[in-house]
Amino acid sequence: MSGGVDSSTAAALLVEQGYEVIGITFKMWQEACEDRETERCCGPQGVADAREVCRRLGVSHYVVNDVEDFRREVVEYFAAEYRAGRTPNPCVMCNEKVKFGTLMRRADQLGAHYVATGHYAGTAQSADGGRTLLKRGSDRRKDQSYFLFSLRQAQLSRALLPLGDLTKQQTRDKARALGLKTADKKESMEICFVPNDDYGQFLAKTGLGRSLPGEITDREGKVLGKHEGIEFFTIGQRRGLKLSQPTPLYVVDLDPAQNRVVVGNPRDLECDELTVERCNWIALENLEGPTEVLAKIRYNHPGASATVRPLGRDRARVKFAIPQRAIAPGQACVFYQDDLVLGGGWIVKEPLPEA
């Protein structure tokens, strides 16, 4: 329970459904937890709000210090991916390693059968009862199934997602009806451990960035400028290049071996194929052949028609019907058929097409 309206309402719904509920709030990042100016999850106000909701619902509430696990599994991964020229997705990793990893182990210690969260997504059983399926949330604007694609069957089978059939407005209405103090609480859209959504400043301040200067080049290798470290750039970025050029330039490649940032024009960002690795298949045991899907290459991507083909058990090749812009290695590519999440994988770096 973060102290926000979603997890508060999820807990309330489970109480109504007859579950014995235990509220858990993780302290996951020390700097955020000590910042009394913020209401972010695990900050003092977030903890106080979660505790008050639990008091009103008549359920137990515990605060668990998970700073070390969170730093290792999420924050260090986040920094290492940027240093390697990839764009990380810490929310996916947090769900897999912390919310349905560490928290599930805590549930075992407490004798709890399930772990529940306030995600806008749903689960269901397959027709033969052999698999737990992951489904989109009914509120497509808030659907968070993308962030849950890497959960394994052992995790999904013990997951309760009470908000899957609700819209955000319905969630707030329910919280108001129950008199929960979090009903009108402002929603946080930032990465929880990155102040002001400035990941570059975060990497520099924490010492997790290398700040290793290098060259900014065009696709032919012509040096156009200097940079302070490739971890401060992402594919598709335009701002912060500090280049004086007659036409806008965008980051089209990051080369950690040569410590180079490569820039090009908007057309250079378009690509109709990608490869994913470390695939996790949810709706099926394994991808057996070419499959038509809607593929999302980042959370706020609307999804695009594509064909996904297996390259062994844990790799796949994705071919889009229409080229997509700014495909970033390190991000997740998640595959859907209607409301069903088939699975997904992590986008790998591929050679830049010839100019």
What positions carry a catalytic annotation?
94, 192
Q: Which residues contact 320 (CB under 8 A, 6 or more apart)?
A: 272, 273, 295, 304, 305, 306
* DSSP class of 225: E
Question: 270-281 and 315-325 as β-strands: parallel, antiparallel, unpaired?
Answer: antiparallel
Q: DSSP H helical segments within 168-287, as ranges?
A: 168-177, 199-206
Report the greatest alpha carbon distance in the chain.
66
Hey, what amino acid is at 7? S
Can you name the residues that pair with 260 across neighbouring β-strands?
Answer: 215, 255
Cα 90-148-134 angle, rounded to 5 deg: 175
Q: Angle between the 199-206 and 76-83 helix axes, to the nearest 10 degrees?
A: 110
* DSSP class of 232: G
Token reading at 51: 């505790």
Token reading at 309: 């083909």
Neighbours of 286 (CB within 10 A): 11
CA 84 from chain centre, in angstroms, equals: 18
Candidates 16, 205, 2, 12; CA nearest to 91 is 2
Contact call for residues 82 and 75 (beta carbons, < 8 A): no
* DSSP class of 347: E
Token reading at 37: 């100016």
Question: 340-347 and 121-125 as β-strands: parallel, antiparallel, unpaired?
Answer: unpaired
Q: Is 264 helix (H, G, I), strand (E, B) or coil?
A: strand
Contact call for residues 105 and 157 (beta carbons, < 8 A): no
